[in-house]
Amino acid sequence: MNNNVRPENMTRIKTKVLADAFIEKEIKNIREQVKDKKVLLALSGGVDSSVVAALLIKAIGQNLVCVHVNHGLLRKGEPEQVIEVFKNQMNANLIYVDAVDRFLDKLAGVSDPEQKRKIIGAEFIRVFEEESRKLTDISFLAQGTIYPDILESDGVKAQHNVVGLPEDLKFELVEPVKLLFKDEVRVVGKALGLPDNMVYRQPFPGPGLGVRCLGAITRERLEAVRESDAIVREEFAKNNLEGKVWQYFTIVPDFKSVGVKDGKRTFAYPVIIGAVNTKDAMTATVENLPFEFLEHLTARITSEVKNVNRVLYDLTPKPSATIEWE
Ligand code: XMP
C-alpha cells in the first residue's frame, strides 16, 4: 500500500472528537516509529509545522528538537510567539536562531524576485544544516507536509520542507499530518491547544515579507512592510474581518513620492494594501472593503509607519494580477 495516498474511506476531521482520536493514534504511531531516538524539526511557526511540533511534543517531549530560524522576513511578533507558545508554554526543546543580519546581508542589492526567493531558500537550508551539525544524536527529521503538498509535489511548499539538505543529513522522515487537508490540520491544532491566531492564520508565503518588500530589500522598507502589515492585521481582527477575508497584507515598492507633513515636504514610500478572496489561489477576487475602513487604515499607516506618506488599495483581481507582487 502506498502510504502517501489518503484512503478513500478516511473520515474528514471536522470535530474535536475526531481530532482527539487522530491525535491519540498519531502519538502511538510516532512513538512506534521513533522509539527513544531524537527528531529534528524546522519550526517556522506556520500552521503545519506548529501542529507537527505540538503533536511530537505530546508524543516524545524533549526528544523533539525544534529549530526556529528568524530570517528577518517574518511578520511582527511571530518569533516571539513561537518562543512563548513552544518554549514557555509547552516546554519544548527549542533552538532559536537569530539569522536576521545574515539573510539581509545576502539579500542586499538583489532585486530579481526569483533570485531573492533562491537566496532565502538556500540560506535557510544552510542555517538549518549548520544547526543540525551541532546536534550529534538526531535520527529523524519531522516535516509539516500536508496532503495538498503530496498532490502537487512541485507546489509552493518547497521552502517549508527542508528538501535541499545534503545526503548525510537526510534522516528518515516523520510526517504525521501528511494525509490531512489544511482545514483538518487546523482542527487538530485547535484540539492540541494551539492559539487561534496560530491555527487560523491566513496563508503566508515561505519567503515571507521578502516578496512584499519589492525590489532590493532594505531595512527601512522592510520595517515599513512589517509595521503596516501589523496595523492591517490588527484592524482586520478588530473589525471582525479576520477569517472572512482569505488573505490581506501590505506591499512596499521601491520608489518614493512627494508628500507633505506638518507643513513640510516629504519624500517617502507608498504602502499598497491588498485584500483578496479565493478558493484555490488560482484565481482571486478583491474584497469590497468599506471606504471608511480604508480611510482609517490610511490614517493609521501614514501617521504610525516611518518613511511612508501614501496608501493605495489594489483593485486588481487574479488574473490579471497575482496575489503576491513578486
Ligand atoms: P500568487 O502570487 O501566485 O499566490 O497569486 C498564490 C498563493 O501562494 C502564495 N505564495 C507563496 N507561498 N512561497 C509560498 O510558500 C512562495 O514563494 C509563494 N508565492 C506566493 C501566496 O501568498 C498566495 O496565497
State pLDDT tens for residues 33-90. Answer: 999 999 999 999 999 999 999 999 999 999 999 999 999 999 999 999 999 999 999 9
Average pLDDT on 122-136 reads: 96
Ligand 1 pocket check for 256: Cβ under 6 Å: no
- Ligand 1 center–CA 117 separation, angstroms: 11
Residue 37 CB neighbour total at 10 angstroms: 14
DSSP string, 129-163: HHHHHH-S-EEEEE----HHHHHTTTSGGGGTTTT
Separation of alpha carbons 231 and 215, rounded Å? 23
Separation of alpha carbons 228 and 242, rounded Å? 16
Residue 302 — pLDDT band, cuts 50, 70, 90? very high
pLDDT greater than 90 at residue 112? yes
- Ligand 1 center–CA 324 separation, angstroms: 6
User: Which CATH number applies to 212-313: 1.10.3210.10, 3.10.20.30, 3.30.300.10, 3.40.720.10?
Assistant: 3.30.300.10
What is the pLDDT at residue 2? 75
Ligand 1 pocket check for 318: Cβ under 6 Å: yes
Ligand 1 pocket check for 46: Cβ under 6 Å: no
Spatial contact of 92 and 52, defined as CB atoms under 8 Å apart: no
State pLDDT tens for residues 241-267. Answer: 998 999 999 999 999 999 999 999 999
For the record, the C-alpha cell of 266 comes out as: 516629504
Phi/psi-derived region of residue 138, left when phi > 0, alpha when psi is between -120 and 50, beta in every other case = beta
How open is the CA angle 185-250-217, to the nearest 5 degrees? 105
State pLDDT tens for residues 148-158. Answer: 999 987 655 54
Ligand 1 pocket check for 159: Cβ under 6 Å: yes
Q: Per DSSP, what are the bridge partners of residue 172?
A: 140
CA-proximal residue: ligand 1, atom 18 (nearest): 205
What is the pLDDT at residue 1? 57
pLDDT greater than 50 at residue 215? yes
CA-proximal residue: ligand 1, atom 14 (nearest): 205
Q: How far is CA 190 from CA 13, 14, 186, 221, in A?
A: 12, 11, 6, 35
Per the document, the length of the chain is 326
Ligand 1 pocket check for 44: Cβ under 6 Å: no
Q: Which fold has domain 16-199?
A: Rossmann fold (3.40.50)
Q: Residue 270: which residues within 8 A CB-CB, separation 6 or more?
A: 252, 253, 255, 257, 308, 309, 310, 311, 312
CA-proximal residue: ligand 1, atom 6 (nearest): 281
Average pLDDT on 303-309 reads: 98
Parse the chain into domains and list their residue ranges. 16-199, 212-313
The answer to pTM > 0.85 is: yes
- Ligand 1 center–CA 31 separation, angstroms: 34
Residue 159 — pLDDT band, cuts 50, 70, 90? very low
Closest CA to 35 of 66, 62, 60: 60
pLDDT greater than 80 at residue 294? yes
Average pLDDT on 209-237 reads: 98
